[in-house]
Structure 1
Amino acid sequence: MIPPSFDYAAPTTVDEAISALRDGGEDAKVIAGGQSLIPLLRMRFAAPSTLVDLGGVEELRHVREDGDALVIGAMVTHARVLRDPLVAEHAPLLAQATATVADRQVRHRGTFAGSLAHADPAGDLPAVALVLGAEMEIAGPDGRRVVPAAEFFVDYLESAVGPDEVLVAVRVPKQGDWVGTYEKFNRVAQGWALVGVAAMVRRDNGTIAEARVGLTNMGSTPLRATAAEEALAGADGADAIGSAAARAADGSRPGDDVSASADYRRHLAGVLTRRAVASLL
């Protein structure tokens, strides 16, 4: 399988990358780790006029603190996320979920920001970004803007990043007194999640003060399971687990495919929500 021909640009700054995208037209594409785009090219599901390679943009390789958040540059790989001490201290849910992404080879090349920009609802990290309350910093010809995760995922494989824009960083709030976990079910090791559940709770005097539940592969975008969150908020934990599990799939739009039916995915959402919340309590 040979990809179609394309022009190639290797910028060394964000501004150069934006210029290359503008010069390449609407069919130009950004490549970071390439773990999602290259298979699409090889199968000719994508045919960009120009590939803009961010590999040489060193300013995108940082993980740093900024007040109550971590700022993770667009070229930070999954492997870097897993071993970074700031992530381990302030965003352990992100590290836990990243450990479930594909295999070591993919984690070595693939990037955290790239997996979000790809906007695959079966990817593990978009739902985690939702429950963490992450914000995406996007650079374009008109400057920079910040988009919350709740508005970033537009549709299947479609994000808020415009054709002449670059996702340059992800701002991840520190977890603080929130605890979180990620549960997924897949048919084979290292495969895509049939369903995944990212859950976070904050407890106060023995009860759940707040809860966040995100769903992987339960619609054309990652989703918040708001009904499950409502069932958990203010409860003492044990009484709420069954109710949250029963309502986990409310409002979701899972699809039928060769891997699972929509009904089975709804069932899995309940099972995984039960596991996730029980483990947190």
Structure 2
Amino acid sequence: MKPGVFEYVAPTTVEDALAVLAERGDDTSLLAGGQSLMPLMNMRLARPEVLLDLNGLNELASWGLSEDGLRAGALVRAADLERSREVRAQLPTLVEAISHIGHPQIRNRTTIGGNVAHADPSSELPGMLAALEGSVELTSSRGSRTLPWSEFFVSVFMTAREPDEMVTAVTFPVPHGWDVRFSEMARRHGDFPIVALTVAVRTDDDVVTGLRVAATGVSDRPVRLTAVEKAAVGRRLEPSLVRDLVALSREEIDPQPDGAGSAEYRRYLLGTLLERSLLPDAAPAAA
């Protein structure tokens, strides 16, 4: 399989890349890690007139970690964050989620910006952004803007990015005072998850003062289970509450069936992952 004919452009500065997008953004595909784009081009499911290779933009390949959060340039490789002791110390659950992205060879090429911009509804990082209340920086020749995760993700493989914009950074806040847990169910480690769940809980003397439940694989974008979150606040974190939340979580989503499983199966997996996240030692709840 070979891609269709295209013009290859490899800028060395962000300014040059933005100039190309300003002129030909509607006809351009952005190449970062290439884990998704290149197979699509080889199968001719994607046929851009211009392929804009971003890998020469070294200014987007750095990241910074503060007490408030991690700001990762769009070209930071997933493996760089996974191997960082500093990131593991401040955001261990993010490292856990990254470890489920494909296999080591994939993570060596996968970029944080590319993964988020691709907006695969089953991907791990969009769900992590949703649970941590993260944001995405978009830049064009007109300037920069930062969108919260809830505004950035629109639908399956669709985001709020305009044709003349590119993702330049992704921010993952450090969840001070929250206990964050990540889990997923996939056929094999490295496969896209059937359901992935990021749960952040905050308690005071075992009473829930805050809950965030972010899921991927159950909708056309990452979703927060707001009904579950609201129902938990003010109640003690004990088996009776978790049973109620599991039942509510299965009612709150409306997943589409596909080759990986039925809607009913995804509902069951979601509730099971939620239960394991909130009460790791509990016996399985009834479906």
Tell me which interval the TM-score lies in, with the shorter structure as reference length.
Answer: over 0.9
Q: Deviations over 1:88-146 (max 9, x none)?
A: 12222211111111111110100122111000101111111100111111001210000
SS of the aligned residue for 1:249 comes to: helix
1:13 corresponds to which residue?
13
Q: TM-score, length-normalised on structure 2?
A: 0.93
- Number of aligned residues: 281
Q: How far 1:66 moved relative to its partner?
A: 5.0
Q: Which segments of 5 or more consecutive residues in structure 1 lack a partner in the other structure?
A: none
1:235 aligns with 2:242: no
SS of the aligned residue for 1:55 comes to: coil
Distance in 2 separating the partners of 1:69 and 1:15: 26
Q: How far 1:280 moved relative to its partner?
A: 9.9
User: Does the CA-based 8 Å contact 2:67-2:174 persist in structure 1?
Assistant: no
Distance in 2 separating the partners of 1:218 and 1:35: 23
1:257 corresponds to which residue?
258
Distance in 1 separating the partners of 2:14 and 2:254: 37
Q: How far 1:229 moved relative to its partner?
A: 1.2
SS of the aligned residue for 1:26 comes to: helix
Q: Which segments of 5 or more consecutive residues in structure 2 lack a partner in the other structure?
A: 283-287
User: Does the CA-based 8 Å contact 1:8-1:51 persist in structure 2?
Assistant: yes
SS of the aligned residue for 2:231 comes to: helix
1:127 corresponds to which residue?
127
User: Does the CA-based 8 Å contact 1:153-1:221 persist in structure 2?
Assistant: yes
SS of the aligned residue for 1:200 comes to: strand
Structure 1 segments (4+ residues) deviating >4 Å:
none
User: Does the CA-based 8 Å contact 1:179-1:280 persist in structure 2?
Assistant: no
1:40 corresponds to which residue?
40
1:141 corresponds to which residue?
141
Q: How far 1:192 moved relative to its partner?
A: 1.0
Pairing 1:1-281 to 2, within 5 Å after superposition: 1-65=1-65, 68-238=68-238, 239-279=240-280
What code does the residue aligned with 2:104 have?
Answer: R
Distance in 1 separating the partners of 2:156 and 2:123: 11
Greater Cα offset, 209-218 or 81-90: 81-90
Q: TM-score, length-normalised on structure 1?
A: 0.95
SS of the aligned residue for 2:55 comes to: helix
Distance in 2 separating the partners of 1:210 and 1:82: 28
